[in-house]
Amino acid sequence: MSDIEVRRLVQPPEQSFFLFGPRGTGKSTWMRSTFPEAVRFNLLSERLYHDYLTRPEAFGDALRALAPGTTVCVDEIQRLPQLLNEAHRFIEERRLRFVLCGSSARKLKAQSTNLLGGRALRRDLHPFVPAELGAAFDLDSALVHGTLPVIRASPHPEEALVVYAETYLREEIRAEALVRNLPAFARFLRVAGLFHGQVMNAASLARDAGVARMTVVGYVDILVDTLVAFRLPAFEAKLRVREKRNPKFYWFDAGVARAVRGDRGAPTSAELGALFEGWVANLLRIHDDYEDLYDEIGYWAPSEAIKTEVDFVLRRGSEHLAIEAKAGDRVGPDELRGLEAIEGLPNLVRRILVYRGERPLVTKSGIEVLPVERFHEELATKRLWPGAG
């Protein structure tokens, strides 16, 4: 299935903007369909890359020939951040509108300041969500192979995921010279795949990967900057308990998380819990990027209670919403423990447990138990918050 058949949820702003997203999320396809008349510069072209590397002013020469108000799409802008100076100049002088596309924000952090100061916004493109795929969405496939457009388009998704992981190492890490010791980073990737949905423990990661703790901290920063992973901070509920402070770690796609750790075939029952939680984490994150779902998100876990946790606590204004993700199709007291414990959080408007069962339920204490289909339907129709939609 090609990503061109899917209507993406991301909406472009009227002004110039950065479009970020990991490789394979369909950024180039989206730009072509959204801006069919735009002038394009693809920096993956080695000839164009070397021309502008040695003579950045040649980019300005090309822009000078364009009519005022023209939309200009630049693919892989992180390869030549120095071109941002020319883009900035032509936004001011010729009112050109730029769509600056990249798979890493790392190199642009310093150089992009002149564009981000009110002249360029940011949009992110992610793997597919159910609202984009419609009837073609399959949860089992999403948990095994992920929902990356480039993987869904492949007749052999498992082999494509292996190639994706190797390409990430080769093109993002080696080509951009992000690490000095590529074998050590490759070992770290395999171990980091096992931490999908886990509280970050840099010392444990370092020990298992055979590298120094501070090296691991830098490696995790690289994963975050290249957009293939993210941290979920601990939420401070302040419910008269001492709460955990370390963030949780998630990969941006279940299929990639499995690929970097070398897993193929059907996941074990032990794997499914983390994969399902990670899928819900990404679903919330993606809908927030596209539709401004919340102001803040975190997980909640009292330090003293090992089995008491709430996977996601969302804040919007003064209101809170608590969500627990369970991969099973049945719900018992153990699955509800965290949502019961957080009941006293001020302005808690909903407590939701998402599961793989078929029936929506409501417990005596008011916890809503929603099947997966109902949950992502509420996200798609913007009804997650009471009174919305």
> Do 183 and 99 belong together in one domain?
no
Q: Are residues 107 and 153 in the same domain?
A: no
Last residue of a domain, one of 124, 158, 191: 124
- 291 and 385 both lie in a single domain: yes
Tell me which of 78, 109, 124 is where a domain ends.
124
Are 152 and 97 within one domain? no
Could you tell me which of 282, 211, 263 has the C-alpha nearest to residue 219?
A: 211
- Per-residue pLDDT of the chain (389 residues), as tens digits, is 444 468 899 999 999 999 999 999 999 999 999 999 999 999 999 999 999 999 989 999 999 999 999 999 999 998 898 898 889 889 989 999 999 998 877 767 655 555 545 567 889 999 999 999 999 999 999 999 999 999 999 999 999 999 999 888 777 777 666 788 888 888 999 999 999 999 988 898 899 889 999 999 999 998 998 899 999 999 987 765 666 688 999 999 999 999 999 888 889 888 999 999 999 999 999 999 999 999 999 999 887 766 779 999 999 999 999 999 999 999 999 999 999 999 999 999 999 999 999 999 999 999 999 999 999 999 999 999 998 76
Cβ–Cβ contacts within 10 Å for residue 34, how many?
16
CATH number at 103 reads 3.40.50.300
CA distances 243 to 129, 235, 287, 306, 389, Å, are 32, 8, 27, 11, 33
Burial 54-72, CB ≥16 within 10 A → b, else e: eeeeebbebbeeeeeebbb
pLDDT in tens, 11-24: 999 999 999 999 99
Question: Using one digit for the tens of pLDDT, what is the confidence trace for 282-293?
Answer: 999 999 999 999
Q: Are residues 32 and 166 in the same domain?
A: no
Summarize pLDDT for 171-221 with one digit per residue, the tens. Answer: 777 766 678 888 888 899 999 999 999 998 889 889 988 999 999 999 999
Q: Which of 105, 124, 143 is the last residue of a domain?
A: 124
What confidence score (pLDDT) does residue 177 get? 66
Judgement on whether residues 92 and 141 belong to the same structural domain of the protein: no
Task: Say whether both 99 and 196 belong to one domain.
Answer: no
308 in the same domain as 162: yes
Question: Do residues 120 and 154 both lie within one domain?
Answer: no
Nearest to 20 by CA among 139, 135, 109: 109
* Shared domain check, 193 and 168: yes
pTM of the model: 0.91
* Interacting residues of 372 by C-beta distance below 8 A, sequence separation 6+: 139, 354, 355, 356
Q: In this structure, are 84 and 151 located in the same domain?
A: no
For residue 168, give the nearest of 245, 246, 255 by alpha carbon.
255
Number of domains in the chain: 2
pLDDT for 85:
86
Indicate if 339 and 247 belong to the same structural domain: yes
Residue 177 domain boundaries: 127-389
